[in-house]
Structures are given as C-alpha cells and as structure tokens.
Chain A
C-alpha cells in the first residue's frame, strides 16, 4: 500500500508546523503538503484531478482563512471534478466552536469529518482509522 498523501490547508503557519509533526509522529503519513488558503488548495486539487493517482488521500481543511475560506473552497469543489470529492477524504479542522459551522458542514455530503482544534492524538487515531477503512473498502 502506498503511503497516504495529506493536504494541510491552514493560514496559520504555526498550526501547520505543529500539525505536520503530529501527522508524522502518529504514523499517518510523512507526505504532508502545506497550503495557505482555499484558493491554493483549489488550484492544486484541480491540477491533480487530471492525474487522479496523485490526488491526496486526506485533506485537513481550516475554515477561517483569507482569500478563499474553507466554505468557499467546498462550494467550488461541489461544482468541480467528481474524482476530487470521491477520492479525497476531507476533514474540517477548525478553531470554531460555533454550532452553525458544525451544522453547515453537515450540508456537504462529501465531508468525512469535523475536528475542533486543538488537534489531539485521539483525533489522529480516528483519522488513521477512517483512512484505513476507506482504503480497504475501495481496494
């Protein structure tokens, strides 16, 4: 089995650095790509949808970001190529504790998880489990 690829979309470099360490030490993946906002992520995903094998397995997506926020990215993905929605496990990773945000996330059927910061070891275990079960069912 190939090593899973992880997209980390967050405007806060500190969070990205810390999260990367956690992703690596938890054993989820060592292939972590940093993206600063929704637009960067969108461009990258669109590019990779041409070569679907290179699409990430997991995308951890922040909501409050400049330029293009998480919701705006999800709206774009809704209209975009279906292989992105099918192949990439999208987990929202936000500091928001507003119930509206959680409710809004439920309106997207291609979202696989909703994690509230801080990111913990327990969250990592869940992510790994979620990824494994998705992989075993599709392979």
Chain B
C-alpha cells in the first residue's frame, strides 16, 4: 500500500514537473525545473530497480545536462542583452530590433 502510494506520488510529480517545465514563463525557470525532473526521475529509476541507471542519471541527467543547458542559455541570453544595450544606444531607427521586454 505504502509502495503504491510512493509510486503514484513519484509518477504524479514527474508529470507535474514536466508540465511546469514546459509551461514556465522564463527559460531559466524551465531549465531549473527540468533539472529537478531529472532528480525525481532518478528516484523513479531506483524504484524500478535500475540502480546503474539511477547513478548515471543523477550525474548526467541532473548534473551535466543542467550545466550544459545553463551555459547555452547564458550565451544566448547574454548576447541578447548586450545587443539590446546597443540597440537602445544608437540603433533606435530599427524599431523591431530595439523593442524589448
């Protein structure tokens, strides 16, 4: 009974985190929620008896993928803010480019 409850909770948590991650307003939030989905999924692998995969997922799915996504996010985002600064300063003519959040 308790095991069933744990399984149901983990399953519901995984779906909730996936939906939240996809629906997040900011990309940063989405990435962080995805990393927490990775951690929750690690628990699910452990529940399914896949200890080898749980170890790998904890290191790769929750650690490295998050680091990779955040590094890429920073570069994509960094470029934007730098560019918006430029757009504010001297490129006011191009209305579409200088329009920002």
A and B associate? no
B positions within 8 Å CB-CB of A: none
